[in-house]
Copies of this chain bind each other. A is one copy, B any other.
Amino acid sequence: MTPTTAPTPRQTALLAQLLATGLLIDSGVPGVYGRGAAFEEIRLAVDRLIDSVAAGDDAEALRFPPVLPRRHLETSGYLASFPHLAGTIFAFEGDEQDAAAQARDADAHARWDRHQQMTDVVLTPAACYPVYPAIAARGPLPPHGVCIDAGGAYVFRCEPSQDPARMQMFHQREIVRLGEPETVAAWRNVWRERCMTLLDDLGLEPATDVASDPFFGRQGRMLATSQRQQALKFEVSVAIAGDEPTAVASFNYHRDHFAERFGILAQTGGAVHTACLGFGLERITLGLLAAHGLDRGAWPPGVRLRLGLS
Protein backbone atom coordinates (compact mmCIF):
# COMPACT_ATOMS: atom_id res chain seq x y z
CA MET A 1 0.00 0.00 0.00
CA THR A 2 1.24 3.48 -0.77
CA PRO A 3 1.28 6.38 1.68
CA THR A 4 -1.79 8.61 1.36
CA THR A 5 -0.42 12.11 1.90
CA ALA A 6 3.07 13.50 1.49
CA PRO A 7 4.82 14.44 4.74
CA THR A 8 5.92 18.02 5.41
CA PRO A 9 9.68 18.69 5.40
CA ARG A 10 9.60 19.01 9.21
CA GLN A 11 7.83 15.63 9.52
CA THR A 12 10.47 14.03 7.30
CA ALA A 13 13.25 15.64 9.35
CA LEU A 14 11.71 14.59 12.68
CA LEU A 15 11.30 10.98 11.52
CA ALA A 16 14.93 10.89 10.36
CA GLN A 17 16.08 12.20 13.76
CA LEU A 18 13.89 9.74 15.68
CA LEU A 19 15.36 6.83 13.71
CA ALA A 20 18.95 8.13 13.90
CA THR A 21 18.76 8.45 17.70
CA GLY A 22 17.10 5.05 18.17
CA LEU A 23 13.99 6.59 19.73
CA LEU A 24 12.07 4.77 16.99
CA ILE A 25 13.22 1.74 14.98
CA ASP A 26 12.49 1.42 11.28
CA SER A 27 10.67 -1.76 10.22
CA GLY A 28 10.61 -1.06 6.50
CA VAL A 29 6.84 -0.44 6.55
CA PRO A 30 5.73 3.21 6.92
CA GLY A 31 3.99 3.81 10.25
CA VAL A 32 5.18 0.55 11.87
CA TYR A 33 8.04 1.19 14.28
CA GLY A 34 9.89 -0.46 17.08
CA ARG A 35 10.58 1.74 20.06
CA GLY A 36 13.82 2.33 21.89
CA ALA A 37 13.95 2.42 25.68
CA ALA A 38 14.11 6.24 25.76
CA PHE A 39 10.88 6.55 23.76
CA GLU A 40 9.06 3.94 25.83
CA GLU A 41 10.09 5.54 29.13
CA ILE A 42 8.44 8.79 28.06
CA ARG A 43 5.35 7.05 26.68
CA LEU A 44 4.86 5.08 29.89
CA ALA A 45 5.42 8.23 31.99
CA VAL A 46 2.62 9.93 30.04
CA ASP A 47 0.44 6.86 30.63
CA ARG A 48 1.09 7.03 34.39
CA LEU A 49 0.34 10.76 34.44
CA ILE A 50 -3.03 10.07 32.81
CA ASP A 51 -3.58 7.31 35.42
CA SER A 52 -3.12 9.85 38.17
CA VAL A 53 -5.52 12.34 36.56
CA ALA A 54 -8.06 9.58 35.88
CA ALA A 55 -8.01 8.30 39.46
CA GLY A 56 -10.86 10.69 40.31
CA ASP A 57 -13.22 8.85 37.95
CA ASP A 58 -12.99 5.66 40.02
CA ALA A 59 -13.27 3.82 36.71
CA GLU A 60 -13.20 0.03 36.45
CA ALA A 61 -10.03 -1.15 34.73
CA LEU A 62 -10.55 -3.63 31.90
CA ARG A 63 -7.95 -4.62 29.33
CA PHE A 64 -8.44 -6.00 25.83
CA PRO A 65 -6.09 -7.53 23.27
CA PRO A 66 -5.40 -5.79 19.93
CA VAL A 67 -7.78 -8.14 18.12
CA LEU A 68 -11.56 -7.95 18.21
CA PRO A 69 -14.17 -10.51 17.12
CA ARG A 70 -15.08 -9.74 13.50
CA ARG A 71 -18.73 -9.89 14.50
CA HIS A 72 -18.25 -6.92 16.88
CA LEU A 73 -16.72 -4.83 14.10
CA GLU A 74 -19.67 -5.73 11.87
CA THR A 75 -22.16 -4.82 14.62
CA SER A 76 -20.43 -1.52 15.42
CA GLY A 77 -21.07 -0.03 11.99
CA TYR A 78 -17.36 0.86 11.63
CA LEU A 79 -17.15 -0.38 8.05
CA ALA A 80 -19.83 2.02 6.85
CA SER A 81 -17.73 4.98 8.03
CA PHE A 82 -14.08 3.86 7.94
CA PRO A 83 -13.73 0.97 5.47
CA HIS A 84 -10.29 2.28 4.43
CA LEU A 85 -8.84 2.10 7.96
CA ALA A 86 -9.92 -1.38 9.10
CA GLY A 87 -7.56 -4.35 9.22
CA THR A 88 -8.92 -7.91 9.09
CA ILE A 89 -7.07 -11.11 9.97
CA PHE A 90 -6.70 -13.96 7.53
CA ALA A 91 -5.10 -17.35 8.09
CA PHE A 92 -4.25 -20.63 6.37
CA GLU A 93 -6.69 -23.55 6.31
CA GLY A 94 -5.21 -25.88 3.68
CA ASP A 95 -3.39 -29.21 3.60
CA GLU A 96 0.30 -30.05 3.38
CA GLN A 97 0.45 -29.51 -0.35
CA ASP A 98 -1.11 -26.04 0.00
CA ALA A 99 1.27 -25.25 2.85
CA ALA A 100 4.27 -26.17 0.71
CA ALA A 101 3.04 -23.96 -2.14
CA GLN A 102 2.41 -21.07 0.25
CA ALA A 103 5.88 -21.42 1.80
CA ARG A 104 7.48 -21.46 -1.66
CA ASP A 105 5.61 -18.31 -2.70
CA ALA A 106 6.42 -16.56 0.59
CA ASP A 107 10.08 -17.57 0.44
CA ALA A 108 10.32 -15.96 -3.01
CA HIS A 109 8.51 -12.84 -1.71
CA ALA A 110 5.82 -13.58 -4.31
CA ARG A 111 2.05 -13.27 -3.65
CA TRP A 112 0.63 -15.85 -1.28
CA ASP A 113 -2.72 -14.24 -0.50
CA ARG A 114 -4.66 -16.98 -2.35
CA HIS A 115 -3.73 -19.37 0.47
CA GLN A 116 -5.33 -17.19 3.15
CA GLN A 117 -8.94 -17.16 4.40
CA MET A 118 -10.74 -14.64 6.57
CA THR A 119 -10.83 -15.56 10.27
CA ASP A 120 -13.25 -14.60 13.06
CA VAL A 121 -11.02 -11.75 14.27
CA VAL A 122 -9.98 -8.28 13.07
CA LEU A 123 -7.55 -5.71 14.42
CA THR A 124 -9.05 -3.41 17.05
CA PRO A 125 -9.61 -0.04 15.34
CA ALA A 126 -10.24 1.96 18.54
CA ALA A 127 -9.66 0.92 22.12
CA CYS A 128 -13.29 1.55 23.13
CA TYR A 129 -14.79 -1.02 20.71
CA PRO A 130 -14.40 -4.14 22.90
CA VAL A 131 -15.94 -2.27 25.86
CA TYR A 132 -19.50 -2.04 24.50
CA PRO A 133 -20.20 -5.77 23.98
CA ALA A 134 -18.46 -6.57 27.29
CA ILE A 135 -20.72 -4.15 29.18
CA ALA A 136 -23.84 -5.20 27.24
CA ALA A 137 -23.21 -8.81 28.33
CA ARG A 138 -23.49 -7.80 32.00
CA GLY A 139 -27.15 -6.81 31.63
CA PRO A 140 -28.79 -3.39 32.24
CA LEU A 141 -26.58 -0.54 33.50
CA PRO A 142 -26.79 0.44 37.18
CA PRO A 143 -28.41 3.86 37.99
CA HIS A 144 -25.29 6.03 37.59
CA GLY A 145 -23.95 4.13 34.60
CA VAL A 146 -20.40 2.87 34.41
CA CYS A 147 -16.95 4.24 33.61
CA ILE A 148 -14.40 1.88 32.08
CA ASP A 149 -10.67 2.54 31.88
CA ALA A 150 -9.53 0.43 28.94
CA GLY A 151 -5.85 1.29 29.45
CA GLY A 152 -3.31 2.08 26.78
CA ALA A 153 -4.10 -0.50 24.10
CA TYR A 154 -2.57 -0.98 20.67
CA VAL A 155 -4.98 -0.07 17.85
CA PHE A 156 -4.56 -0.36 14.08
CA ARG A 157 -5.29 2.12 11.29
CA CYS A 158 -4.43 1.15 7.75
CA GLU A 159 -2.86 4.45 6.72
CA PRO A 160 0.81 4.05 5.78
CA SER A 161 2.51 7.45 6.17
CA GLN A 162 5.96 8.97 6.47
CA ASP A 163 4.58 11.36 9.10
CA PRO A 164 5.93 9.94 12.38
CA ALA A 165 2.73 11.10 14.11
CA ARG A 166 0.57 8.94 11.82
CA MET A 167 1.40 5.39 12.86
CA GLN A 168 -0.46 2.32 11.65
CA MET A 169 -0.16 0.76 15.10
CA PHE A 170 -0.19 2.97 18.19
CA HIS A 171 -1.35 3.08 21.81
CA GLN A 172 -4.70 4.66 22.50
CA ARG A 173 -5.19 5.44 26.19
CA GLU A 174 -8.94 5.08 26.43
CA ILE A 175 -11.66 5.79 28.98
CA VAL A 176 -15.33 5.12 28.23
CA ARG A 177 -18.40 6.50 30.00
CA LEU A 178 -21.80 4.84 29.62
CA GLY A 179 -24.97 6.17 31.25
CA GLU A 180 -27.68 8.81 31.11
CA PRO A 181 -27.18 11.49 28.44
CA GLU A 182 -26.53 14.33 30.94
CA THR A 183 -24.03 12.28 32.95
CA VAL A 184 -22.10 11.33 29.85
CA ALA A 185 -22.06 14.84 28.38
CA ALA A 186 -20.88 16.33 31.70
CA TRP A 187 -18.13 13.71 32.02
CA ARG A 188 -16.82 14.57 28.57
CA ASN A 189 -16.69 18.29 29.41
CA VAL A 190 -14.82 17.67 32.67
CA TRP A 191 -12.25 15.58 30.83
CA ARG A 192 -11.71 18.18 28.14
CA GLU A 193 -10.63 20.63 30.85
CA ARG A 194 -8.50 18.00 32.60
CA CYS A 195 -6.80 17.21 29.31
CA MET A 196 -6.03 20.86 28.59
CA THR A 197 -4.48 21.25 32.05
CA LEU A 198 -2.50 18.01 31.73
CA LEU A 199 -0.96 19.02 28.40
CA ASP A 200 -0.43 22.62 29.47
CA ASP A 201 1.51 21.39 32.52
CA LEU A 202 3.78 19.54 30.10
CA GLY A 203 4.55 22.76 28.24
CA LEU A 204 2.72 21.66 25.09
CA GLU A 205 0.44 24.73 24.61
CA PRO A 206 -2.66 22.69 23.75
CA ALA A 207 -5.62 24.03 21.77
CA THR A 208 -9.06 22.47 21.62
CA ASP A 209 -11.69 22.62 18.90
CA VAL A 210 -14.66 20.84 17.41
CA ALA A 211 -13.47 18.16 14.98
CA SER A 212 -14.65 15.38 12.72
CA ASP A 213 -13.58 11.81 12.04
CA PRO A 214 -11.82 10.80 8.77
CA PHE A 215 -14.99 9.36 7.20
CA PHE A 216 -14.57 7.64 3.82
CA GLY A 217 -15.60 9.09 0.47
CA ARG A 218 -18.07 11.77 -0.65
CA GLN A 219 -20.82 10.54 1.66
CA GLY A 220 -18.23 10.72 4.42
CA ARG A 221 -17.83 14.46 3.90
CA MET A 222 -21.51 14.88 4.73
CA LEU A 223 -21.14 12.73 7.84
CA ALA A 224 -18.16 14.86 8.89
CA THR A 225 -20.11 18.08 8.42
CA SER A 226 -23.01 16.73 10.45
CA GLN A 227 -20.65 15.56 13.21
CA ARG A 228 -19.12 19.03 13.41
CA GLN A 229 -22.49 20.78 13.40
CA GLN A 230 -23.60 18.68 16.34
CA ALA A 231 -20.24 19.15 18.12
CA LEU A 232 -20.03 15.39 18.75
CA LYS A 233 -16.23 15.33 18.57
CA PHE A 234 -13.63 17.55 20.21
CA GLU A 235 -9.92 17.24 19.75
CA VAL A 236 -7.00 18.65 21.69
CA SER A 237 -4.00 19.44 19.51
CA VAL A 238 -0.36 20.32 20.06
CA ALA A 239 2.49 21.21 17.72
CA ILE A 240 4.47 18.21 16.46
CA ALA A 241 5.86 18.66 12.97
CA GLY A 242 2.86 19.35 10.75
CA ASP A 243 1.85 22.67 9.23
CA GLU A 244 -1.08 22.60 11.66
CA PRO A 245 -1.14 21.30 15.25
CA THR A 246 -1.74 17.54 15.54
CA ALA A 247 -4.60 16.02 17.54
CA VAL A 248 -3.22 14.15 20.58
CA ALA A 249 -6.53 13.50 22.36
CA SER A 250 -10.08 13.17 21.17
CA PHE A 251 -13.45 13.22 22.92
CA ASN A 252 -16.26 11.48 21.14
CA TYR A 253 -19.91 11.62 22.04
CA HIS A 254 -21.72 8.72 20.34
CA ARG A 255 -25.20 9.52 21.68
CA ASP A 256 -27.14 6.19 21.53
CA HIS A 257 -25.15 4.68 18.60
CA PHE A 258 -23.21 2.00 20.46
CA ALA A 259 -25.88 1.39 23.12
CA GLU A 260 -28.36 0.72 20.31
CA ARG A 261 -25.98 -1.41 18.23
CA PHE A 262 -24.83 -3.60 21.14
CA GLY A 263 -28.10 -3.59 23.10
CA ILE A 264 -26.94 -1.72 26.22
CA LEU A 265 -29.97 -0.91 28.37
CA ALA A 266 -30.50 1.04 31.60
CA GLN A 267 -32.08 -0.45 34.74
CA THR A 268 -34.16 2.71 34.89
CA GLY A 269 -35.47 2.07 31.38
CA GLY A 270 -34.13 5.48 30.21
CA ALA A 271 -31.84 6.25 27.30
CA VAL A 272 -28.22 5.07 27.38
CA HIS A 273 -25.61 7.27 25.78
CA THR A 274 -21.87 6.67 25.51
CA ALA A 275 -18.78 8.82 25.13
CA CYS A 276 -15.12 7.98 25.04
CA LEU A 277 -11.86 9.82 25.29
CA GLY A 278 -8.67 8.61 23.75
CA PHE A 279 -5.17 9.93 24.31
CA GLY A 280 -2.67 9.13 21.58
CA LEU A 281 0.30 8.14 23.72
CA GLU A 282 2.82 8.12 20.89
CA ARG A 283 1.62 11.54 19.69
CA ILE A 284 1.95 13.08 23.16
CA THR A 285 5.44 11.56 23.37
CA LEU A 286 6.27 13.06 19.97
CA GLY A 287 4.82 16.40 21.08
CA LEU A 288 7.15 16.38 24.10
CA LEU A 289 10.16 15.49 21.94
CA ALA A 290 9.25 18.18 19.38
CA ALA A 291 8.68 20.86 22.05
CA HIS A 292 11.55 20.15 24.41
CA GLY A 293 14.11 18.34 22.25
CA LEU A 294 15.13 14.74 21.65
CA ASP A 295 17.46 14.73 24.68
CA ARG A 296 15.26 14.25 27.72
CA GLY A 297 18.08 15.34 30.02
CA ALA A 298 17.77 18.87 28.61
CA TRP A 299 13.99 19.19 29.14
CA PRO A 300 12.60 21.82 31.53
CA PRO A 301 12.88 20.42 35.08
CA GLY A 302 9.17 21.10 35.72
CA VAL A 303 8.14 18.91 32.80
CA ARG A 304 10.40 16.05 33.91
CA LEU A 305 9.11 16.39 37.46
CA ARG A 306 5.47 16.29 36.33
CA LEU A 307 6.25 13.10 34.40
CA GLY A 308 8.27 11.58 37.22
CA LEU A 309 11.26 11.29 34.87
CA SER A 310 14.77 11.89 36.12
CB distance from A93 to the nearest CB of B (A): 7
A91 in contact with B92 given A37-B62, A120-B29 (CB within 8 Å): no
Whether the Cβ atoms of A118 and B111 lie closer than 8 Å is yes
Spot the interface stretch: A20-28, A184-192, A195-203. A20-28
A65: chain B residues at CB < 8 Å are 32-34, 154, 169-170
Closest residue of chain B to A108 (Cβ to Cβ) is B74
Whether the Cβ atoms of A87 and B90 lie closer than 8 Å is yes
Chain B CB count within 10 A is highest, among A36, A60, A63, A80, for A63
In-complex Cβ contact of A79 among B72, B90, B106, B158 (8 A): B106
Whether the Cβ atoms of B92 and A89 lie closer than 8 Å is no
A contact residues, range: 35 or more
Whether the Cβ atoms of B40 and A119 lie closer than 8 Å is no
Tell yes or no: A219 within 8 A of B by CB. yes
Q: How far is the CA of A62 from the CA of B26 in the complex (A)?
A: 12
Give this chain's copy count: 2
CB distance from A65 to the nearest CB of B (A): 4
Annotate A86-103 by CB proximity to B: 1 below 8 A, 0 otherwise: 111111111110010011
Q: How far is the CA of A139 from the CA of B99 in the complex (A)?
A: 34
Whether the Cβ atoms of A88 and B91 lie closer than 8 Å is yes
Whether the Cβ atoms of B91 and A158 lie closer than 8 Å is yes
Q: How far is the CA of A32 from the CA of B71 in the complex (A)?
A: 13
Annotate A17-55 by CB proximity to B: 1 below 8 A, 0 otherwise: 000000001111100111111001000000000000000
A118 in contact with B90 given A154-B66, A218-B96 (CB within 8 Å): yes
Tell yes or no: A231 within 8 A of B by CB. no
Tell yes or no: A194 within 8 A of B by CB. no
A107: chain B residues at CB < 8 Å are 74, 77, 79-80
A87: chain B residues at CB < 8 Å are 89-91, 119, 121
Whether the Cβ atoms of A32 and B83 lie closer than 8 Å is no
Interface residues in chain A, defined as those with a beta carbon under 8 Å from any beta carbon in chain B: 1, 25-29, 32-37, 40, 60-69, 71-74, 77, 79-80, 83-84, 86-96, 99, 102-103, 106-107, 109, 111-113, 115-121, 123, 130, 133-134, 137, 154, 156, 158, 160, 168-170, 216-219
27 residue pairs bridging A and B, Cβ less than 8 Å apart: A1-B91, A25-B62, A32-B69, A34-B62, A35-B64, A36-B61, A65-B169, A66-B169, A67-B168, A67-B169, A71-B109, A74-B107, A80-B103, A80-B107, A83-B99, A84-B99, A87-B119, A87-B121, A90-B113, A90-B116, A90-B118, A92-B158, A96-B217, A111-B118, A112-B118, A116-B118, A119-B158
Closest 6 CB pairs of A and B: A113-B118, A65-B169, A37-B61, A80-B103, A96-B217, A83-B99
